[in-house]
Amino acid sequence: MKVLAAMSGGVDSAVAAARAVEAGHEVVGVHLALSRMPGTLRTGSRGCCTIEDSMDAQRAANKLGIPFYVWDFSERFKLDVVDDFVAEYQAGRTPNPCMRCNERIKFAALLEKGLALGFDAVCTGHYASIIEDQLGNLELHRSLAMAKDQSYVLGVLTQEQLRHSMFPLGATASKELIRQEAAERGLSVANKPDSYDICFIPEGDTREWLREFVPSEPGKIIDTEGNEVGTHDGHVGFTIGQRKGLRLGRPAKDGKPRYVLEIRPKTKEVIVGPEEALQITQLAGSRYSWCGLAPKETAEFFDCEVQVRAHGDTVPARAAVVDGELVIELTQPLYGVAPGQTAVIYLGTRVLGQTTIDRTVSAVAINV
């Protein structure tokens, strides 16, 4: 099988490519150049897709004896991920750029180009597993390495995309075993730190980064009774559940801290209130998809679990498609969930589907 190995320059993708080669596939390595700043260099574990990463990927490919290319996806990345990220914050939402990157770059643009060039599959270093059921349908499941499981960010994949995807690391029990294997294979990235934070904001300060793209417009901070308790210099950068940095002029009657509950871009208002108002009992989104085969019956509520953060826990829930929305009722409240986040639903270890959250329902009514 002709396999296109996406090589980020990290240890996971290098070992995934090595396993694909060892399995007898005809493998070609490719590094995606996503930044338009060619001088960008990595700092420790901050940032990714830099010149340093491309060179690490090249060295790994050379060690494996496979062809290697760098493909410029910077324009597509800017439009589909960075611009989307900015637009979501402008709309008062909290986006997940890693979900958009997997959906629109790694498993849309890359797979589309790979198939056009005659490749059969794209191989990545994600920690997840693809399992075929008795009828030949493909299912995405959690990795055995639960601490590193990345099935959440792959919840956007369709049945057709699963047919052309390979995740060779899914059955590996730990990241330490991957590093040991990389060292045994003589790969120089064996001890390279994992990347974290948003790749195009390597300094980690999202609010400061957004100032360059979104003009700051001052507005009011309002409590749940409609009282003005402070002002802000721009709603962009506030996040649901935020407590620090609000600079409120009036303390709450009970003296307890207040948290950001809602962001209203049209009126430039930020709504704050008590911690208990962050308890969310229902989520809903119209931009939903099924990962693999869709459930036979979605009009009636069915039991599932839901996860709303990449490294968060799942909680019991019920889900159904109601009036064009995937509605998820939580049997155990989640705290601080914001529109723009992704809710991924599971049946045991299987990823069933996902939706971008459009609205939430709090256990405590907000009357302003």
Distant-in-sequence, close-in-space partners of 119: CB < 8 Å, separation ≥ 6:
2, 3, 4, 28
**What would the mean pLDDT of 265-271 be, rounded to a whole number?**
92
Q: How many CB atoms lie within 10 A of CB 69?
A: 12
Q: Is the pLDDT of residue 43 over 90?
A: no
Phi, psi of 282 (to 5 degrees): -150, 140
Selecting among 49, 123, 199, 304, the annotated active-site residue is 199
Dist. CA 350–CA 137, nearest whole Å: 13
Q: Is the pLDDT of residue 47 over 60?
A: no
Sequence letter at residue 367: N
Q: Which tokens go with 38?
A: 């060619």
Q: How many CB atoms lie within 10 A of CB 234?
A: 17
Per-residue pLDDT, 39: 47
Cβ(36)–Cβ(78) under 8 Å? yes
**H/E element, 271:** strand 269-273
pTM above 0.85, yes or no: yes
Residue 36's pLDDT band, with cuts at 50, 70 and 90, is low
Per-residue pLDDT, 194: 80
Supply the DSSP symbol for 295: P
Dist. CA 327–CA 323, nearest whole Å: 9
Q: Is the pLDDT of residue 41 over 90?
A: no
CA quadruple 213, 218, 219, 221: dihedral sign = positive
Q: Is the pLDDT of residue 294 over 90?
A: no
Selecting among 48, 101, 123, 304, the annotated active-site residue is 101
> What percent of the chain stands above pLDDT 70?
94
| CB neighbour class for 274 (10 Å; exposed up to 12, middle 13-18, buried from 19) | middle
Q: Is the pLDDT of residue 153 over 90?
A: yes
Distant-in-sequence, close-in-space partners of 55: CB < 8 Å, separation ≥ 6:
9
199 is catalytic: yes
Cβ(353)–Cβ(157) under 8 Å? no
Q: Is the pLDDT of residue 140 over 90?
A: yes
Using alpha carbons only, what angle is made at residue 62 by residues 61 and 67, rounded to the nearest 5 degrees?
65
123 is catalytic: no
Using alpha carbons only, what angle is made at residue 241 by residues 237 and 247, rounded to the nearest 5 degrees?
65
Phi, psi of 92 (to 5 degrees): 80, 20
Supply the DSSP symbol for 257: -
Residue 357's pLDDT band, with cuts at 50, 70 and 90, is very high
Dist. CA 342–CA 345, nearest whole Å: 10
Q: What is the mean pLDDT of the chain?
A: 89
Domains of the chain as residue ranges with CATH: 2-184 (3.40.50.620), 215-273 (2.30.30.280), 278-362 (2.40.30.10)
Phi, psi of 297 (to 5 degrees): -130, 115
Q: Is the pLDDT of residue 46 over 80?
A: no
Nearest to 342 by CA among 298, 261, 301, 283: 283
Distant-in-sequence, close-in-space partners of 162: CB < 8 Å, separation ≥ 6:
130, 138, 139, 140, 291, 292
Per-residue pLDDT, 34: 87
**What would the mean pLDDT of 70-98 be, rounded to a whole number?**
91
Per-residue pLDDT, 292: 87
Tens of pLDDT along 164-222?
999 999 988 788 999 999 999 999 999 998 876 688 886 778 888 888 888 788 999 99
For 288-323, give one letter per residue: b (16+ CB within 10 A) or e: bebbbeebeebeebbebbbbbeeeeebeebbbbbee
Among 253-262, 275-284, 315-324, 328-337, whose mean pLDDT is lowest? Answer: 253-262
**What would the mean pLDDT of 33-41 be, rounded to a whole number?**
62
Residue 112's pLDDT band, with cuts at 50, 70 and 90, is very high
